[in-house]
Structure 1
Amino acid sequence: MYGSFADIHCHLLPGIDDGASDLESSIAMAQMAVADGVHTIVVTPHQLGNFSRNQGDDIRQETILLQRVFAERRIPLEILPGADVRIEDGMIEKLLSGEVLSLGDHRRHVLLELPHELYFPLEKVLQSLEREGMTGILSHPERNQGILRDPSLLEPLVDQGCLMQVTAGSLMGTFGSRSQELAEWMLEHGLVHFVATDAHGVKARRPLMSRAYDRIVELVGEAVAGDLCTINPELVACGKPIEGGVRATPRRGWSGFFSAKKVG
């Protein structure tokens, strides 16, 4: 196990969305993450959609307060402000004003959330972000029902510069066999740039990375696992660019493993 991870998608802030319910839950999640080898987390409460009440300045302040608690408890975890942003009209303007947060608050990478049940074209959103010097990271595409029905949507998005974040639990079957198969297929075809926990608590959807890291090693090797679980998320946390596009990886053949028809 690599043993030193950064997590760019985690619902760690207490009482702000459907993640940690209170401060003690946040502390328990942080302790679990550290024990599993996580050293940095970008906190990503939901913004826009059903969580339009979550404002950028409130998230920034809550992040500072929670970091102080971790320091008092001697929990060796760095946290940075961010958001899991539902794609909707006016999103770009709110990102530019700071009302909606980019990852690490660097205005470089934006974690984009589609509705779970459908896919809609992202090309214009990605172009608008690019014009403002920002890059979109699509949150858990392997769990989106529209993409599950048509995985061929993914490669053109990656070719356009969209980065892909797969959920650690998807690689362990937490979200079902179809999502697991798609996550593994994406890995083996070089379509994943990050693995993150999307953690919501300590009993279900936990802040754990190590088992997913080990699974990535099995599928595509240690170098890729290190990039997806450590190096790339650390670069995002620091506001630095990462290499996008489709990467060359060891891959299985198409036959007998995965096809759009099988997933659909």
Structure 2
Amino acid sequence: MPKEGIYDVHCHIIPGVDDGASDYEETKRLLQMEYNQGVRGIIATPHFRFQMFETPIEHIKEQFVLAQRAAAEISNDLEVYLGCEFHVNMEMTEMLKAGKVSTMAGSRYVLTEFSENSEVSYIRERIYALLSNGYKPVIAHIERYEATRLDLNFVEELDDMGACMQINADSIIGKEGFFIKRFCIKLMKYDLVQFVGSDCHNMYDRISRVGEAYSYVKKKMGETYANNLFIENPQKILKDAKRRKER
């Protein structure tokens, strides 16, 4: 594992705000698991989805302080940043501009989720809406959507538009099945992946395996490629956030 540590850009470790960590103790256990796997930077991404996850941003920020406290108790070199897994809707750009949901660590990057059966035209239009308003969409677990899984050309189109692709650690190492793993390998070989996230939710059936995924990608694609996905690209998010803050 690299000395500087790897990053997890998609996880549900803030206590009591979505279907992720239920309380402070579970948050701390998840963070300890991440730390043990070599993770030193985490973007916590609680869900926002109409009629399912609509936790007010004020409460999320209050609970996020608890995640920061838990991280500090584990180690002073474990950093946690606030983001959101934003399920797309027709009001999303207005919500982002109003600060009702968080971008990734305060950057232009937005972790963007679709329904698994979303149509190509809807995905294309909503990604364009984010890009045209100055945001940088990171499409969450790109391997889950039928529209992208069945058409690599569409993934390439999204990449050409300026979107980024994120895949889940479990998908890379085969926990979601052989065909999903094979698709993830194909995405990496065609250089159509920019980020990996654990998408961890709890200490039972949805744990973090981001360290295991890093080791697999390093073995399969080489250390330079693995460091790009797990370190350098996440650092671009943080650098972008810093530039925006300094304006």
TM-score (norm 2): 0.90
**One-letter code of the match for 2:210?**
M
1:250-261 mapped onto 2 (5 Å cutoff): none
1:128-147 mapped onto 2 (5 Å cutoff): 128-147=129-148
**Other-structure match for 2:209:** 208
Deviations 1:52-91 (Å, cap 9, x if unpaired)?
4222222222212321233245574211111000011101
Q: Are the aligned partners of 1:171 and 1:184 in contact in 2 as well (CA < 8 Å)?
A: yes
Moved over 6 A (4+): none
Q: Are the aligned partners of 2:37 and 2:212 in contact in 1 as well (CA < 8 Å)?
A: no
Partner Cα distance (1:223, 1:47) in 2 = 34
**Other-structure match for 1:225:** 226
1:211: how far off? 1.6
Percent sequence identity over matched residues? 30
Query: Gaps (5+ residues) in structure 2?
Result: 243-247
1:64-79 mapped onto 2 (5 Å cutoff): 64-72=65-73, 74=75, 76-79=77-80
**One-letter code of the match for 1:117?**
N
Query: Gaps (5+ residues) in structure 1?
Result: 242-264
The answer as to 2:111 corresponding to 1:111 is yes
Structure with more of its chain in helix, by fraction:
2
Question: 1:174 and 1:42, CA in 2 relative to 1: closer, same or farther beyond 3 A?
Answer: same
TM-score (norm 1): 0.84
Deviations 1:232-262 (Å, cap 9, x if unpaired)?
1122134359xxxxxxxxxxxxxxxxxxxxx
1:102: how far off? 0.7
Deviations 1:18-48 (Å, cap 9, x if unpaired)?
1112211111000000011001111101002
Partner Cα distance (1:118, 1:177) in 2 = 23
Partner Cα distance (2:65, 2:240) in 1 = 18
Deviations 1:166-219 (Å, cap 9, x if unpaired)?
111111111111211110100001000011111112232322322211221222
Q: For structure 1, which segment, 143-152 or 226-235, has the greater mean C-alpha deviation from structure 2 after superposition?
A: 143-152
**One-letter code of the match for 1:97?**
A
**Other-structure match for 2:176:** 175
Question: 1:49 and 1:179, CA in 2 relative to 1: closer, same or farther beyond 3 A?
Answer: farther
Deviations 1:88-116 (Å, cap 9, x if unpaired)?
1101100000001111123x000010112
